[in-house]
Structure 1
């Protein structure tokens, strides 16, 4: 039984019940107080109670039949008009299920429950279309990035096979570099997938300790590139995956070191506590970036500058992983170009209910 038929039966039943109550009220009003043997003479017409009942019964039957027919017809029409927006929503759902995510309901009329449902469905389609487009770009880019080291390895092996006199040491070194890049890319993809699925255990984490660990780990890289790291801030208790949050911090600091000035660059790392949130801020000197370019930096395999790739350039997933980990921890990520060059990246995470009294620490490394 369709919803339209159910509504029709409901309308008709309600109308029949109202009609029956009305007829009963009329009969009680006119016949109350009349004894069974009462006789009234009007001119030459003699009327008694039984005659009134006999004449009223056919009229009541006709009225009831009319109400029944009117209830069915009217209920069917009203139910159809009420359910028309739902039909549009259903049609749009079928279109979306067939793969056309660009279709929108755009339901007209005043704002009611159906309009709110249609608007919510349109908003969901917008987000879903953007997500699918992003996933398709990611799959295409990932396939390309993974294919590149495999193609390079194949070419190197073909050259070595066709030239037996070639130095095998050079071939081994190049194959090792290509293999390391393929492994790094695969591990980055696994981290990105794990963060997106939120398949991790939440535990208390202090971001300031993660910053210390990240800066100490990346200090040799910073010294090699002539970059100074200035890390300071408050104890910042958060809740989440320590491994993923450490990966996020490492990516931010690594990105700030690599994409910096050729010499005498600086990285500023700071942690702080605000009402209901903890904040990790990473700034670096570097080239000036346009706001339009900055908006694309969290896309997978996007790189902020066109500098030649080296052994520390990464696989193009650093900030994409940061964004995914931040979202998995119900936080927010803000990237702002610095007027003097470089970036200012701010990660905000929800603060746990119990917060320790902030204590200050600092570290400067060159």
Structure 2
């Protein structure tokens, strides 16, 4: 049975039960104040006759047919009224169902926009509209990401093909130079593929959460990237507290490494500085990485976490990356229910803050 029919039968059944109880109450009231029999004195001419009159039997004969008629009316009224009332009550649900079918067919721009006062159906419709908006934005982002990824992957493949074509056309060309160039291009393609896989893994949140100390991850990332920092003349300054959180050790280490690497590479040409700090707040832990460098506007800083976003100066460096460093940081942060904040420094460079939920106290 449909929900409308079920509601109709429920309304009619409730009305019938109420009617039966009401008629039963009336009948009990009559039985209480009306005697079963009564003496009846009748005078016929000059003769006085005494008799017994069955009042309850007569009353039942009058009451029962009318009560049955009332119950029949209540049944018809309950079915008709219940059907109409159920239809009005379920009208918003019909709009939500139509919107769901439209979204299923691929149209995510449709919105319910249910009018009227705020009730359960209005809250459901508003929640569904918000879900459609987020889904539409996510699909659009994925489409842009797929297009950008295809373009980025096509570039090293096209370069490799061009190098091979040149080598085949000129057999006397130095093979070592071609091999070195092919190795660099292939390394970039592998880095890009691994970054894409990491993004997909973080997006799906398919990881096991465990107790992780961000301060230890920061120390590990700094130790790993120290040779690169020394090569580029960048100095580290670290401070902070033990910062326990729950999450994937591998993903959070990747997040920290990306932040430190980004701070080293996009720094001053010489005598640059990277500050790494960890702090504990009442309900969260904070990792802050900031560096010296060129001055950025707030608008420029807000675009750095977009996938495949690279400034012009980044493309031509020996550590240009694949344009996914901060995008990976953003994805991992959101997968751990955290927030990522990018703030340009007044003297140049940028301050990046990752705030994650603190791990609950006690044994893991």
TM-score, with normalisation over the residues of structure 1? 0.90
Q: Give 1:312 deviation, angstroms.
A: 0.2
Q: Quick check: 158-167 or 250-259, which moved more? A: 158-167
- Find the aligned partners of 1:63 and 1:274 in 2 and give their Cα distance: 70
Task: Name the residue aligned to 1:14.
Answer: 14
Call closer, same or farther: CA 1:137–1:47 in 2, change over 3 Å. same
Q: 1:225 aligned to 2:229?
A: no
CA contact (8 A) 1:39 1:48 kept: no
Which residue of 1 is the match for residue 256 of structure 2? Answer: 249
Superposed CA deviations along residues 243-267 of structure 1, whole A, max 9, x for unmatched, are 2222111100111111122233221
Whether the 8 Å CA contact 1:105–1:122 is kept in 2: the answer is yes
> How far did residue 33 of structure 1 move?
4.4
What SS does structure 2 have at the residue aligned with 1:105? coil
Please state how far the C-alpha of 1:193 moved relative to its aligned partner.
1.9
Query: Is residue 156 from structure 1 mapped to residue 167 from structure 2 by the alignment?
Result: no
Distance 2:324 2:238 in 1: 24
In the alignment, the residues of structure 2 paired with residue 69 and residue 39 of structure 1 have an alpha-carbon distance, to the nearest angstrom, of: 42
Distance 1:93 1:172, change over 3 A: same
Give the alignment of 1:184-223 within 5 angstroms.
Answer: 184-223=191-230
Deviations 1:286-312 (CA, angstroms, capped at 9, x unpaired): 222222232222221112455442220
CA gap 1:202/1:57 in 2 versus in 1, 3 angstroms: closer
**Counterpart in the other structure of 1:82:** 89
Identify if the C-alpha distance between structure 1 residues 71 and 178 changes in structure 2 by more than 3 Å, giving closer, same or farther. same
Q: TM-score, normalised by structure 2?
A: 0.90
SS at match of 1:216: helix
The answer for the alignment partner of 1:69 in structure 2 is 76
3-state DSSP of counterpart to 2:238: strand
Which residues of 2 match residues 132-151 of structure 1 at below 5 A?
Answer: 132-151=139-158
Which residue is equivalent to 1:121? 128
- Map Cα deviations across residues 108-138 of structure 1 (whole Å, 9 max, x no partner): 1111111111111111111111111111111
Cα deviation 1:289-347 (Å, max 9, x = unaligned): 22223222222111245544222011011011111222222322111122222211011
Q: Deviations over 1:60-86 (max 9, x none)?
A: 222111111111110001101111111
> 2:267 — aligned with what?
260
1:111 aligned residue: 118
* Larger Rg, first or second structure (1 or 2): 2
For 2:169 and 2:268, locate their aligned partners in 1 and report how far apart those are by CA, in whole Å.
Answer: 43
Runs ≥4 residues deviating over 4 A: 39-44, 304-307
Q: 1:40 to 1:349 in 2, by over 3 A?
A: farther
User: Which residues of structure 1 form unaligned runs of 5+?
Assistant: 357-366
Is the counterpart of residue 326 in structure 1 residue 333 in structure 2? yes
Conserved 8 A contact 2:34-2:56: yes
How much is the aligned-residue C-alpha RMSD, in angstroms?
2.4
CA deviation vs aligned residue, 1:26-54 (integer Å, no higher than 9, x gap) = 2332343444443668999x994333322
Q: Secondary structure at the match of 2:290?
A: strand
Counterpart secondary structure, 1:38: strand
SS of aligned partner of 1:297: coil
Partner of 2:317: 310
The alignment partner of 2:60 has SS state of helix
Per the alignment, do residues 58 and 203 of structure 1 end up closer, same or farther by CA in structure 2, a change over 3 Å counting? closer
Correspondence list, 1:287-298, <5 A: 287-298=294-305
Moved more, 198-207 or 323-332: 198-207
Whether 2:38 is the aligned partner of 1:38: answer yes
Closer/same/farther in 2, CA of residues 172 and 10 from structure 1, 3 Å limit: same
Distance 1:187 1:257 in 2: 21
In structure 1, the residue matched to 2:107 is 100
- CA distance in structure 1 between the aligned counterparts of 2:352 and 2:231, rounded to whole angstroms: 23
**Deviation (angstroms), 1:59:** 1.6
SS in 2 for 1:201: coil
CA contact (8 A) 2:305 2:330 kept: yes
